[in-house]
Amino acid sequence: MNVITCEGLKKNQRKVRALSDLSFTIKENTITGLIGRNGAGKTTLLKILAGFWRESSGEVKVFNQHPFNNLYVSANTIYVDDQMSFPASLTLTEILQEAEVFYENWNGKLAKRLFDYFSFHPEQQHENLSKGKKSTFNMIVGLASRCALTIYDEPTTGMDAAVRKDFYRALLRDYLEYPRTIIISSHHLDEVEDLLEDVLLLQDGSKCLHLPIDELKDYAVGLTGRTEMVRQWIANKEVFHTNNIGAGTTYAVVKKEGIPLDNARQLGMETTSVTSSDICVYLTDQTKGGIDDVFK
Amino acid sequence: MIHSDGTKPIYVQIAEWLETEILNGHFKVDEKVYSQYKLAEMFTINPATAAKGLNILADEKILYTRRGLGKFVTNEAKEIITDKRKNQKLKGLLDEVALEAEQLHVREEELFSMLKESMEKRKGDAK
C-alpha cells in the first residue's frame, strides 16, 4: 500500500518555483532518505506532506487524503525539525505529558527512558536548550509519537557524533519493533544510508532519482587511467563527473549499467566503487566547474 | 565487520558474513540462521537490505526457506560456499597477485617462495 502519492506536484513561493512537476509514491512501512543540495526543495516537500503548506498545483495524497488542513493526516503524522515550537510555559516533562494526549500511539516508557539516557533536566525549558539538545529532545518526541508517518527534516542539526549514532540506532530499533513509514532528509547520506530502504534524490524541485539504496550504490563506477584512454573510452557513455589528477591521469565516474568493466581493467584502467553520497553530489552538481575555478 | 565505505554493497557483506559463520560451524546443517530483523538489529541496517543478503544465499542453495519459520542451512551449504570462494574470491586474489608481480617484475620462483613463506607463517601463528 502507498502511504504517499504525488502527481505533478508544484509549489511556487512568490515568483520562485520551489517544486516543479514532482511525481512519486512511497510505500507503507519503509524508511526513505530524502536527499538533495541546499534549496533543492526538500523542506518544501516535507511541509506539504505534513499538511503545513498548501501545494500550488498537482495532486498530493497522504493516507489517501489531501494533507493540507486535514485532521486525520495531522493526527497520524509528525514533522520533526530543529524549529519545532512548544509552549514556552511548559517544562520538558510537561511537554512529554501533553504530547501523550495528542498522539494515540505515544510510547511514554520509551520517551522517559530516552529522556533519562540523554540526561535531560525535567524542569528545563525547551527554548533554553542548546542547539544539539533541542534536536535531541525533538527526536525523542518524534520516536515516542510512533506516528504512522514520521518525517524527520534534518533531525541531527547540532547533535554531536555520539548522539547522532545513538539516534540512528534508536530510530532503527524502534522501527523494527513498531514498523511505520519514515522519511528522513539529510545532508549526510553516508551516515544514514545503512538505515534506508529507498532514496529520493531531488534536484531543483524535481525528482532526480528514486530507487532502492542498494541500487544507488551500484549505480556508477569510477575509472582512473591515462587521460587519452579514459576520454576515448567514456565518449559514448553516460558520464557524471570527470577530474584530472596530476599530469596525464583522469578520474571519471560513469553509469555502471552495461559497462564492460573487465574490458576497462584489461586496458589498464583502475575501477573503483563510488559512494552513494558522491553519486548524489555528481548527479546534482550545478556549480560551474569546481570551487577552484572561483579562485582563478 | 560491516563497512559502509562503499567498496561492497551491505547486502553482499551480510551474505559473506553468514557464509563465514556457516564455514566456521556456527550454523549447522538444518539449523535456522538469523532473521532479517535480527540481522538488521545486529548491524544497524535496514531489514530490507538484510533480506536481500539472505535471498542471495537462498538463490545459491546455501539456505532454504521454511514458510513462516525462516531460513535454514542446506546439506550442501559448506560445499557450495567453499567451491564458490575458491573459484571466485581466491582466483580473483590470485589474478591481482599475478598483475602486481608482473608490474614489479617478480619471477615465478620468487613468487612461489613468497607464497610458501606466507603459508608457513600462518601455520606458525595458528600453533
Of A4-8, A211-215, A234-238, B38-42, the poorest mean pLDDT is in A234-238
A187 vs A33: which has the higher pLDDT: A33
Cell of A239: 558520464
Read off the pLDDT of residues A76-97 as tens digits, 9 standing for 90 and up. Answer: 999 999 999 999 999 999 999 9
Share of chain B above pLDDT 70, in %: 93
Of A96, A118, A126, A128, the C-alpha closest to A109 is A96
Select from A31, A212, A274 the Cβ nearest to the Cβ of B6.
A274
User: What is the average per-residue pLDDT within B83-105?
Assistant: 88
**Among candidates A176, A194, A273 on the partner chain, residue whose Cβ is nearest the Cβ of B10:** A194
Alpha-carbon distance of B27 to A194, in angstroms, equals 25
What number is the average pLDDT over the span A144-163? 95
Give residue B82's pLDDT. 93
Averaged pLDDT of chain B: 90
**What is the nearest CA distance from A217 to chain B, expressed in angstroms?**
7
ipTM score for this prediction = 0.85
Decide: B50 and B56 in contact? Cβ < 8 Å.
no
- Binary contact (A172, B44; C-beta < 8 A): yes
pLDDT digits (tens, 9 = 90+) for A28-87: 999 999 999 888 999 999 999 999 999 999 999 999 999 999 999 999 999 999 999 999
When pLDDT is cut at 50, 70 and 90, the band that residue B47 belongs to is very high
B44 — contact with chain A (CB < 8 Å)? yes
Helix axes B47-59, B36-43, angle to 10 degrees: 120
Residue pLDDT, tens place only, A122-152: 999 999 999 999 999 999 999 999 999 999 9
Q: What is the pLDDT of residue B3?
A: 64
C-alpha cell read off for A76: 497520524
Cβ–Cβ of B7/A273 closer than 8 Å?
Answer: yes
- Give the pLDDT mean for A159-177: 95
Domains contained in chain A, CATH given:
2-216 (3.40.50.300), 218-294 (3.30.70.240)
- The dihedral built from the CA positions of residue A224, A229, A233 and A238, taken in this order, carries a sign that is positive
> For residue A144, which of A176, A104, A116 has the smallest C-alpha distance?
A104
**pLDDT confidence of B5, banded at 50, 70, 90?**
low
Q: Nearest CA to CA, how far is B58 from chain A (Å)? A: 18
Q: How many CB atoms lie within 10 A of CB A25?
A: 12
Mutate to test the interface with A, among B13, B41, B46, B96 (most CBs of A within 10 A): B46
Residue A290 has pLDDT above 70, yes or no: no
**Where along chain B do its domains lie?**
10-75, 78-126
Instruction: Tell me: pLDDT of A286 over 70.
Output: no
A218 touches chain B (CB under 8 A): yes
Closest CA to A256 of A285, A222, A296: A222
Interface membership of A224 toward B (CB under 8 Å): no
Q: Quick check: A217 and B7 CB within 8 A?
A: no
A193 CB neighbours in chain B (<8 A) are: 4
What per-residue confidence (pLDDT) applies to A253? 92
Q: Which CATH number is B10-75 given?
A: 1.10.10.10
DSSP string, chain A: -EEEEEEEEEEEETTEEEEEEEEEEEETT-EEEEEE-TTSSHHHHHHHHTTSS--SEEEEEETTB--TT-HHHHHTEEEE-TT----TTSBHHHHHHHHHHH-TT--HHHHHHHHHHTT--TT-BGGGS-HHHHHHHHHHHHHHH--SEEEEESTTTT--HHHHHHHHHHHHHHHHHS--EEEEE-S-HHHHGGG-SEEEEEETTEEEEEEEHHHHHTSEEEEEEEHHHHHHHHTTS-EEEEEEETTTEEEEEEE-TT--HHHHHHTT-EEEE--HHHHHHHHT--SSS-HHHHT-
Q: Residue A296's pLDDT is what?
A: 73
Q: What is the pLDDT of residue A218?
A: 87
**How high is the pLDDT of residue A261?**
85
- CA nearest to B1, candidates B31, B32, B45, B60: B45
Task: Say what the pLDDT of residue A182 is.
Answer: 98
